[in-house]
Amino acid sequence: MTAIVRVDPILEEFDRVFGNMWAPWKPAMVGDGLGTDLDVHEAEDELVIRAELPGVGKDDLHISLENGTLRIEAEKKEEKNEDGKTWYVRERRFGKHSRLMELPFRVAADRISATLDKGVLEIRLPKAEEAKPRKIEVKVQ
């Protein structure tokens, strides 16, 4: 399991200029697992996760939250191998994959939503009231 951490903009700029040479020192946003790319960002009132899951249907996708840890499980089923075919390239990955993410704040579990549209999974995790920033009014006496 990997904790979600803020990405350092300086390291992102190095990645842009020099390729991925800084990757061994850069904290990972999420661990390996689904064999897909994830984007995770924090909005004012929620955490938004987007994952590319081409070829994964709703029935092959399971998402759960327990003790501040989000689990995404997906299964991409392999197409039947037809006998007599000569394969030149076979790079697509199949099988069961999962990813665990420790969330950076408490979420309102009853308001979490997940949608799958054109192979892109979007999970919205609203912040729990106690996790939202609050303005504290200063009283003058």
Q: Residue 6: what pLDDT?
A: 54
SS (HEC) of 95-125: EEEEEEEECCCCECHHHCEEEEECCEEEEEE
Identify residue 118 by its one-letter amino acid code.
Answer: K
Q: Residue 34: what pLDDT?
A: 54
CATH class of this structure's domain 32-78+93-129: mainly beta
- Are 35 and 97 in contact by the 8 Å Cβ rule? The answer is yes
Which residue from 136, 132, 140 is spatially nearest to 44, judged by alpha carbons? 132
Q: Residue 3: what pLDDT?
A: 54
Half-sphere exposure in the Cβ direction for 119 (13 Å, CA):
7
Which residue from 42, 39, 13, 43 is spatially nearest to 26, judged by alpha carbons? 13
Q: Residue 32: what pLDDT?
A: 42
Domain boundaries, the chain: 32-78+93-129
Q: Residue 9: what pLDDT?
A: 62
Q: Residue 63: what pLDDT?
A: 94
Which residue from 66, 61, 123 is spatially nearest to 98, judged by alpha carbons? 61
pLDDT along the chain (141 residues), means of 10: 55 58 42 64 91 88 92 83 75 80 90 94 92 83 89
Q: Residue 93: what pLDDT?
A: 73
Question: What pTM value is reported for the model?
Answer: 0.67
Q: Residue 130: what pLDDT?
A: 79
Q: Residue 86: what pLDDT?
A: 78
- Are 79 and 97 in contact by the 8 Å Cβ rule? The answer is no
- Are 70 and 48 in contact by the 8 Å Cβ rule? The answer is no
Contacts of 64 (CB under 8 A, 6+ apart): 70, 71, 73
